[in-house]
Every structure is written in C-alpha cells, then in structure tokens.
C-alpha cells in the first residue's frame, strides 16, 4: 500500500508534468502528429489504401479465406508504414546533405552538431557526417516509428502464418 507522503509526492509530480501550459505551447503540441504525416493511418489516404489493398491481395494469394485476407491487410499496412518511415528518413538525410554541401561551398561551418554518424568512404578512413541536434531528434522520432512498424509487421506475419498453417491442416 502506498503511504500518504508517497501519494502526495506522486500528485505533486503529476501536476508538474502535465504538458504545455500556454496556449501557444498547447497549439504546438497539437501539431506534433502532423509534422511528417507518419501518424496518419493507411486507410486515411486513398492512394495508400489502394496500394495496401493491392499488396494484401498479393500476400494473401488468389483463394484466400476472409481471415487470411484480413491478416494480409494488417501485414500490408505495417509494410506501407515501414516504407513511409524509411522514405521520411531518406528525405531528412538528403535535405541535410544538400544543405551541408551548400554550407561547405559557401565556406560556412554546419550549426550545432550533436550527433555524428560515421559513413565509410572510398578511402580507408571513414568520413564523418555531422547532424545538427534538431535533425538528430527527428531521426530519433523516425526510429521509434520504424520500430513500431517493424513490430506490427512481425506480429501480423506470425498471425498470418498461424492462420495459413491452420487452413493447410484443415485441408489435409
């Protein structure tokens, strides 16, 4: 059982960590999910939905049961989300590389470098690729989206495999 002092301490901590307090802060936080569009479901975008249905049909096969089709749709959704995350990461890094190259041409140094990623070059010594802290935070967020999509796909594939095995067993 929690002591009265501990309960009071928990209440005080909760009051201090309830998110932004100002109108501007709350408005900014409300827009977080729309920054890159990765939180939008595949079914919310007609183009992605059509692509998902095509992929699900390909995964399920021609004579799939409704259960297999449903599980194939879940696999397809996760795969499309994974592709979207990887594309967003590619775009972020490409934008940074282009701006970094332009800065070097102009003789300027890149701003506030916090994260450094080593990439192997053509020489024996790897080249350094510095990323400003804001882009590093965005990469971290993209990694979380990617891990979530990979996990969703893994579990959907497992369920699909179980269903396909059950269907095969029922036919034999």
Task: Look up the pTM and report it.
Answer: 0.64
pLDDT score of 35: 61
Return d(Cα 72, Cα 52) in angstroms, integer.
9
Please tell me the distance from the alpha carbon of residue 68 to that of residue 160, in angstroms, as a whole number: 6
Please list the alpha-helical segments (H only) found in 61-132: 66-106
Residue 122 is predicted with a pLDDT of 53
Amino acid 147: pLDDT: 94
> Domain residue spans in the chain?
39-171
At residue 113, the pLDDT reads 45
Block means of pLDDT (10 residues each) for the chain, length 172 residues? 85 77 80 66 84 94 92 95 91 78 57 45 55 79 92 96 91 82
Cβ proximity of 145 and 38 under 8 Å: yes
Q: In Å, what is the CA distance from 53 to each residue of 70, 80, 86, 138?
A: 10, 11, 20, 30
pLDDT at 128: 56
């Amino acid at each position: 059982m929690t002591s009265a002092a501990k309960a009071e301490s928990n209440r005080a901590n909760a009051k201090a960590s309830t998110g932004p307090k100002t109108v501007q802060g709350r408005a900014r936080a409300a827009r977080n999910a729309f920054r890159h569009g990765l939180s939008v479901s595949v079914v919310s975008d007609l183009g992605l939905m059509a692509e998902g249905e095509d992929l699900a049909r390909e995964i399920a096969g021609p004579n799939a049961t409704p259960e297999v089709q449903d599980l194939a749709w879940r696999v397809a959704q996760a795969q499309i989300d994974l592709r979207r995350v990887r594309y967003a990461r590619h775009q972020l890094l490409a934008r940074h590389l282009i701006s970094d190259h332009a800065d070097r041409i102009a003789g300027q140094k890149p701003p506030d470098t916090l994260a450094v990623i080593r990439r192997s070059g053509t020489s024996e010594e790897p080249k350094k690729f510095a990323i400003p802290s804001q882009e590093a935070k965005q990469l971290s967020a993209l990694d979380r989206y990617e891990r979530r999509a990979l996990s969703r796909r893994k579990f959907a594939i497992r369920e699909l495999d179980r269903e396909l095995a059950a269907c095969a067993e029922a036919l034999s």
